[in-house]
Structures are given as structure tokens and as C-alpha cells.
Amino acid sequence: MTMTHDAIVIGTGQAGPFLAQRLAGVGMKVAIIERKLFGGTCVNTGCTPTKTMVASAYAAHIVRRAADFGVVNNGSASVDMKLVKSRKEAISEKSRTGVENWLRGMTNCTVYQEHGRFESAKEITVGSERLTADRIFINVGGRAVLPQMPGIEGVPHLNNSSIMDVDFLPRHLIIIGGGYIGLEFAQMYRRFGSEVSIIETASHLAQHEDEDVSTAIRQILEHEGIKVRLNATCIGFSRRGEDILAHVECASGDPEVSGSHVLLAVGRRPNTDDLGLAEAGAAVDKRGYIVVDQLHTSVPGIWALGDCNGKGAFTHTAFNDAEIVGVNLLDNDPRKVSDRITAYALYIDRRLGRAGLTEAAVRKSARHALIGRRPMTKVRRAVEKGETQGFMKIIVDAQTHEVLGAAILGTGGDEAIHSILDVMYAGELQPLSDGAGAPK
């Protein structure tokens, strides 16, 4: 038997539940499908658990630095990984069950806990059931890429999901990938007490950032004893006794790094390979991301939101996709994804908050720009907290004074960046006035 709904949502990540609530709230009959854990990546294997671990790692770091603040202890801190893990799980579980209970208690919404798959543009099979709707919203997210590196199958390796089960301290964690996820894990495990080596094929860490930002990030991490190997040309693996060897083939230095555990953090891929998109007729790009035009797929009546559309890789971008589709459909509001200003944070300590264009992108565009820089050593809050690493940088159009982009690498950078984002959304940055309204 086929169950008819007004709308079907596949996935309960950061977009699906909110959109389901909006649609059900206006009386639509909604089905929402989740094949695994309610709340998706962010709640279970992404933002939430990693931020609890970052918090544990920060606590250990501050205990070790206690004397800097005049607090007397013996200057050492050891970390009980079982307790770190159980704290993380308690917080994640609360969010997960919160999402599940919210959806199950939602008027006009039916929850299906199975894998969903398109049979046609309007039909989905969920386990033994078949659902149909005129509007289908895909929010299937993504997962860690398993890179094709020589020897990878012969050594145990972790990714962002499996590392969630680790309740011991790896002696030496080798992290493949110097992007946002790799860097967060690198610093937290170093602070837990592991030796940590990062291996990256690019010439700098967080390779999408400006080189000055990336260099400062590297200095922060190396200052804590993390080893960084850049320009790795051919990464492969083998075993030597108990150890795992990561072969690096770098231009200089040891051609291999020896460690006890490997974390792969080399990118994400969308969960679109087992979704039946060909049966629906929806186009994907060569990496499997669903092709969208303002969140509409190539098939009328099907939308794709969140990480699976390649338009963002963050919780707030997925959530914002749901806000946009909701207001487009229900409020006659023409808001578009292309109105969104790039904004994100890198959760190492010191945080990196980013908004808009990088300096490199502005230089490439040949726009005349003014660039302001200020080291965190000149920021009173940073000095008072004893957290003076990093700097802030803002790039402003020389003619219009429009803020083009900013990076705040420093204490509280993830929050302070919002003041710049507000200005960017508001429009031009006005020159400082003398208080009487006249620009100086």
C-alpha cells in the first residue's frame, strides 16, 4: 500500500526536522525518514561531541597553565578518556533524544526509522513501505571519505565517526589531513596527552585560508608540540611491529612517520550513492553532490538541503537552507542561498572566525581594497586572558567601504566575527564619525 503525504523529508540532520516542523505547522501531512541516528552528523559524530571534547582538552590545558594565572597546583593534568567519552555521550544523547522526541511528538508528522530510497520522482520506499508526495526534501548529509592510499586496508584507521568510540589515549595519533576536522582533533588529542603528527599534501594547513592565517595556525599548534608535515607527495601505510608507519615522501625530513593510531580526515562525501537519485531523475555532480539551483534539484518538486547539495558544510548553512525553503514556500519570501555570506569557525584554540572573502580572493578579483591587521597582543581581552596568539584582519573595498571579508584568529574569534558579519549584512561600513554625524 502507498501512503500519500503532502511532503516527505529524508534525513533528520540540521535541515530536515526544522523544515518538517514548518510544513507540519501549516497543516501539511509530513513524513520524515531517518535511517540511523536522529540529529545526524552534527549531534552524533560532528559538532556536538567534538566541542565537548574540545572543552575537556581546554580544561586540561588550563590546568597545566594554572601557574600563569597565579593558581597553585602541581602543573600537571592527566585525562581520563573514559570520563571524557561518557561526558561527550551524555551531551550528544540528550540532543539526539531531544530531536527524536520532538519529531515523534509533532502534530501532522510521521516518523519512519529506515533507509529511504527514491523509486521515482514522487515515490520513496522505506523498508517495506512506499510513500508518495508532491514535495520531497533531501537532507541526507555526508560521511568521511575513505582515501585510496597504498596500504590503507592493511592498517587500522579511524575517522570522525569511529574515533567517537575511543576511550583510551592513543600513544601517537597520526592525522592524515590538515583541514578543519583534522586540526580540531590534533589539538584536542595533544592536550589529552597523545603525541600528534599531522600529514597534509598541501603546502599549508587549512589550505583554503590565507597563508598568514594558516602560518599562524601552524605556529599555535607547533607551540603545543604537534608535528606538522606539509607537501606530502605520496601517503601510504605499512606496519612495523606494533607501530603504524605513514609514508610521506616529503621533500625534506623523514620519509615516514611512526605512530600508534591513524585518523583519516581527508574530506567528506555526500550520502547520495544509495538514494535512488537516478530513478528520481535528479542530477548529481561528479563528486555525488546533488545539483541545485537555489535549493531546487533538477526535478520539480524535489529540493536538496544541507551538506548533500555542496553549498555549505556547516550546521548553520544546513539550517539556513531549511529557513530559506520554508520562507520561499510558506511566506512568499524570495530569500536565496546566494544572499548568504560565507561564515564559519575553526574550533582550535585560539579560534578562527571567518566571514566573506579571503585576502587572496580579493587580490585575485583586482578590487582595490584596504586591509587592516591587528595582532592579538594588542587586544586587551586577549592580554588579560593570557591568550595573545593570533591576529585579526579585515578587508574593505577602498571605494565603497563595503566589508569584503575578515578573519579573526584569536581568543573568542568565533564569536567576535559576528559583529563583522552584522555589518556585512547591513551593507557599507561607514567611516568613523566625530559624533555629530559628519565623517572625519
Ligand X SMILES: Cc1cc2nc3c(=O)[nH]c(=O)nc-3n(C[C@H](O)[C@H](O)[C@H](O)COP(=O)(O)OP(=O)(O)OC[C@H]3O[C@@H](n4cnc5c(N)ncnc54)[C@H](O)[C@@H]3O)c2cc1C
Contact positions vs ligand X (CB under 6 A): 10-15, 33-37, 40-42, 46-47, 50, 115-116, 139-142, 160, 181, 271, 275, 306-307, 313-316, 318, 347
Q: Inter-axis angle of helices 81-104 and 47-64, to 10 degrees?
A: 150
Alpha helix stretches (DSSP H) within 105-199 = 180-192
Q: Is there a contact between 108 and 30 (Cβ–Cβ < 8 Å)? A: yes
The smaller minimum CB distance to ligand X, of residues 192 and 347, is found at 347
Query: Among residues 261, 246, 314, 380, which one has the least CA distance to residue 41?
Result: 314
Q: How far is CA 58 from the centre of its chain?
A: 19
Query: Among residues 435, 345, 356, which one has the least CA distance to residue 396?
Result: 356
Q: Which residues contact 361 (CB under 8 A, 6 or more apart)?
A: 405
The smaller minimum CB distance to ligand X, of residues 55 and 429, is found at 55
Q: How far is CA 46 from CA 41, 82, 314, 344, in A?
A: 5, 19, 10, 15
The smaller minimum CB distance to ligand X, of residues 141 and 326, is found at 141
The smaller minimum CB distance to ligand X, of residues 40 and 390, is found at 40
Q: Is there a contact between 313 and 307 (Cβ–Cβ < 8 Å)? A: yes
The smaller minimum CB distance to ligand X, of residues 275 and 379, is found at 275
Tell how strand 302-304 and strand 129-138 pair up.
parallel
The smaller minimum CB distance to ligand X, of residues 14 and 389, is found at 14
Q: Is there a contact between 57 and 196 (Cβ–Cβ < 8 Å)? A: no
The smaller minimum CB distance to ligand X, of residues 198 and 248, is found at 198
What angle is formed at CA 316 by the lines to CA 263 and CA 104, rounded to 5 degrees?
Answer: 95
Q: How far is the CB of 375 from ligand X (least distance, A)?
A: 26
Q: How far is the CB of 323 from ligand X (least distance, A)?
A: 13
Tell how strand 343-346 and strand 391-397 pair up.
unpaired
Q: Is there a contact between 318 and 14 (Cβ–Cβ < 8 Å)? A: yes
Q: How far is the CB of 49 from ligand X (least distance, A)?
A: 8
The smaller minimum CB distance to ligand X, of residues 18 and 391, is found at 18
Q: How far is the CB of 274 from ligand X (least distance, A)?
A: 6
- The DSSP result for 189-200, as a single string, is HHHHT-EEEEE-
The smaller minimum CB distance to ligand X, of residues 14 and 388, is found at 14
**Per-residue cell: 14:** 540540521
**Per-residue cell: 286:** 561528479
Q: Which residues contact 86 (CB under 8 A, 6 or more apart)?
A: none
Q: How far is the CB of 390 from ligand X (least distance, A)?
A: 18
Tell how strand 236-240 and strand 243-247 pair up.
antiparallel
Q: How far is the CB of 7 from ligand X (least distance, A)?
A: 15
- Nearest-angstrom CA–CA distance, 36 and 20: 18
The smaller minimum CB distance to ligand X, of residues 139 and 358, is found at 139
Q: How far is CA 249 from the centre of its chain?
A: 29
Q: How far is the CB of 381 from ligand X (least distance, A)?
A: 22
Q: How far is the CB of 425 from ligand X (least distance, A)?
A: 18
ω into residue 350 within 30 of 0, thus cis? Answer: yes
Q: How far is CA 407 from the centre of its chain?
A: 17
Amino acid at 229: R
Residue sitting closest to ligand X (CB): 141
Q: How far is the CB of 322 from ligand X (least distance, A)?
A: 8
Q: How far is the CB of 15 from ligand X (least distance, A)?
A: 5
Q: How far is the CB of 424 from ligand X (least distance, A)?
A: 18
The smaller minimum CB distance to ligand X, of residues 63 and 313, is found at 313
- The DSSP result for 134-179, as a single string, is EEEEE---EEE-----TTGGGS--B-TTGGGG--S--SEEEEE--S
